[in-house]
């Protein structure tokens, strides 16, 4: 199987996204709606410019960094840390899994529309649940809506929606 070649990117500054946030953003990308203070605006920026380059990372990204829950000293998310102490480690695992399943590596850059088409082509519901987000406590809930959400996100980024 051929390794995907990152698209040539234009002059737009890349948006840095951690691997698992590619999936957390699906609903916001597909519907244009999100109540999340930092994820919502990033998804809106991508919807407004589907050709924007996305730089894949493991760990802090453009959604984490401005978030009130991000602890910059400890370099982790404080939300639900007491109740779910494994969340940060599991998120890092999901970041790595997401990037690996796409045949990419941390630091790779690809335009958003091409990236989400690649996700739709490579990540089935089974791959999502058993390879990408296998470590996450929310996987059973998310896998049930994954397929319609990835389809809606790809459609929204295809330019056929206003």
Q: What is the pLDDT of residues 124-161, one digit of tens each?
A: 999 999 999 999 999 999 999 999 999 999 999 997 54
Nearest Cα to Cα of residue 67 among 18, 133, 132, 140: 18
161, 155 contact by CB (below 8 A): yes
Three-class SS state of 39: helix
Q: Are 14 and 57 in contact (CB under 8 A)?
A: no
pTM across the whole model: 0.89
Contacts of 117 (CB under 8 A, 6+ apart): 154
| pLDDT score for 45 | 96
pLDDT tier at 39 (50, 70, 90 boundaries)? Answer: very high
Question: Are the C-beta atoms of residues 4 and 104 closer than 8 Å to each other?
Answer: yes
């Amino acid at each position: 199987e051929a390794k995907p070649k990152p698209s040539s990117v234009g002059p737009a500054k890349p948006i840095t996204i951690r691997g698992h946030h590619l999936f957390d953003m699906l609903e916001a990308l597909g519907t244009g709606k999100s109540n999340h203070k930092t994820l919502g605006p990033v998804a809106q920026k991508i919807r407004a410019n589907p050709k924007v380059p996305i730089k894949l990372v493991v760990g802090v990204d453009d959604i984490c960094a401005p978030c009130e829950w991000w602890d910059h000293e400890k370099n982790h998310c404080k939300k639900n840390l007491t109740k779910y102490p494994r969340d940060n480690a599991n998120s890092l695992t999901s970041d790595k899994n997401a990037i690996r399943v796409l045949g990419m590596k941390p630091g790779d850059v690809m335009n958003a529309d091409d990236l989400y088409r690649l996700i739709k082509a490579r990540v089935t519901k089974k791959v999502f649940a058993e390879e990408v987000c296998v470590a996450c406590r929310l996987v059973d809930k998310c896998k049930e809506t994954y397929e319609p959400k990835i389809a809606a996100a790809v459609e929204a980024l295809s330019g056929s929606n206003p």
